[in-house]
Amino acid sequence: MTKQDQTPEISIVHPVVVSNSIHEQPLNQRPIRSFALRGGHMSEAQKRAYAVGMPQWSIPFEPQMHQFELNFEKPQPLIFEIGFGMGETTAHIAGELSDRNFLAAEVYTSGVGSLLKLIDQNNLSNVRIMQHDAVEVLQSMIAPKSLAGVHIYFPDPWHKARHHKRRLIQENFIQLVASRLQPNGYIHCATDWEQYAHQMLQVLSNEPLLRNTAAQFSARPSYRPVTKFERRGLRLGHGVWDLVFEKT
């Protein structure tokens, strides 16, 4: 393993529960994480899908490197998706790219239940779910040079200036992602927040293990569908920016 491929140090924040409420650590002590703390409602269909599907389609977190190919039916290139929301995009891409396996990380039970329902409805066999912080999964379970790609779609923009340090796309996180990519592996990010898009472009461009596949921003790859929220934003004149970088 080269020095550049070694795992950078990124601490994982855990919520502190005080009197039944969740309080975050002070900003100057808060490390990067891939999600913001918020609640979520589960429908009855999502609850049923969660109860039935988790034993079959999920992989439990373990603080040790894992051979993910053993969890899939076929030994195919592995794509890691960070924060899949309600899972519509993940299910669509997994159906389009059936020659790849997808490891999808999400912390919210409602989103996990939704994707499990879509896995059943679309008869998908190439998706596995981890209900855990994706940063910790990258650090502890995914071996260097093992991923064919990483998808990060519409991460929380933390739009207030004083909250920018909470954003996921930062130099030490991208260093970690790059170390987990195979040669010619890629990272594909998308955001509808222009200022965050330019920060992403700068951070990704500054990583010596990565190169931009476009002059600046990329055209939306055909495998990424336009979500209903994205379609609504485009009608209102909002932009969407895609970035695709490859490991050199």
Residue 237 DSSP code: T
The pLDDT of residue 33:
53
d(CA 131, CA 112): 7
156 carries an active-site annotation: yes
- Name residues of the chain where pLDDT drops below 50: 2-4, 9-30, 37
Assigned token pair, 168:
């996921």
The pLDDT of residue 17:
29
Predicted TM-score of the model (pTM): 0.84
Pair 156, 35: CB distance under 8 Å? yes
The pLDDT of residue 21:
29
- DSSP alpha helices (H): ranges in the chain? 44-57, 88-96, 109-121, 134-140, 171-180, 194-206, 228-235
The pLDDT of residue 189:
98
The pLDDT of residue 138:
97
The pLDDT of residue 10:
46
The pLDDT of residue 159:
86
What element of type H or E holds 102?
strand 101-105
Pair 191, 60: CB distance under 8 Å? no
Q: How far from 135 is each of 51, 138, 179, 217, 222, CA to CA, in Å?
A: 25, 5, 13, 25, 27
The pLDDT of residue 32:
54
- State the catalytic residue, choosing from 5, 120, 133, 156: 156
The pLDDT of residue 234:
84
